[in-house]
Amino acid sequence: MIVLLVHYGRRRSPAAAEGSTVTAKLLTFCLRSLYREYGAAFLRRVVLVHPVATLRGIARYGRGGIGEPERWEGGEGSLVGVGFCLKPMAPGCPSGRANHRCLFFETGAEADPASCRDCSIRIIGQQALRCGSALYIMTSARDILEDVLLPALEQRRFQRALLTMCRYSFEPIGLALAICGIEARLVPFAHGDCRDYSTWRRADTGDKPEQTSMEATSFQRLISSFSGLEPGKGAPRFRKTGNVYQPC
């Protein structure tokens, strides 16, 4: 598999130097994660159990987009994922920080603490609900494997995803999504994001004291990209199923 990644990483890049850099970063991440909980679980439950899907995913790797989508259709099989590090810190999120919860969507608009009013997760989540997409607050890589990747690979629960995350995670998550059959659009954070493995590893265990955010213009383009359903067809609320908020 590593040999295939090296080969594909070289040929997918428009320039040899850039391709080598991308491949080196991806391989470094994979090797350092191999002995971690997520890396071992991905190898055991995805690569070894689904070798054909893994090879097909490697072949598809690189087709996912980066940046704001021109239009997000939503609907069945679609997922909008937001990082827990988008939760406000002052005043703090009433749901807690490194978890999958959002008090606003669990209790409805009746609960409207100050921290929820300008929260990026609330704003993005409302757009996801309007266009019939599931909402997922991302925490650890292991949880993403359990809650998103495996259900997509084994049950076809998700086919399309719009994810906000740090650029450092783009390559490894892009490969995992391709293997699990998810067409994804990745939107980068601009401030407070993880930019090396040690910072990413800390955040993956819930240790993320920095406030993460997107550029204002990028955030507005993202919000305007949600197309929505026909009038009256949007889901009125979310129902939490496991760690995922499903429109109902």
pLDDT one-digit tens code per residue, 211-248: 999 999 989 999 999 976 655 556 688 999 999 999 98
Query: Which range marks the domain in which residue 212 is found?
Result: 65-247
More confident site: 168 or 236 = 168
216 domain residue, yes or no: yes
237 domain residue, yes or no: yes
57 domain residue, yes or no: no
- pLDDT above 80: residue 54: yes
- pLDDT above 90: residue 97: yes
Q: Retrieve residue 237's tokens.
A: 């609320």
Average pLDDT, the chain: 84
133 domain residue, yes or no: yes
Residue labelled with tokens 């679980």 = 41
- pLDDT above 60: residue 64: no
125: nearest Cα among 79, 157, 66: 79
Confidence class for position 42, pLDDT limits 50, 70, 90: very high
Q: Which of 55-69, 78-92, 169-183 has the lowest mean pLDDT?
A: 55-69
167 domain residue, yes or no: yes
Q: How many structural domains does the chain have? A: 1
Q: Retrieve residue 104's tokens.
A: 């606003």
Residue 31: is it exposed, middle or buried by C-beta count within 10 angstroms (0-12/13-18/19+)? exposed
81 domain residue, yes or no: yes
Q: Where are the alpha helices (DSSP H) in 43-168?
A: 51-60, 103-107, 114-117, 120-130, 141-144, 150-155
**Mean pLDDT for the stretch of residues 78-90:** 95
148 domain residue, yes or no: yes
More confident site: 221 or 23 = 221
**Mean pLDDT for the stretch of residues 85-112:** 86
42 domain residue, yes or no: no
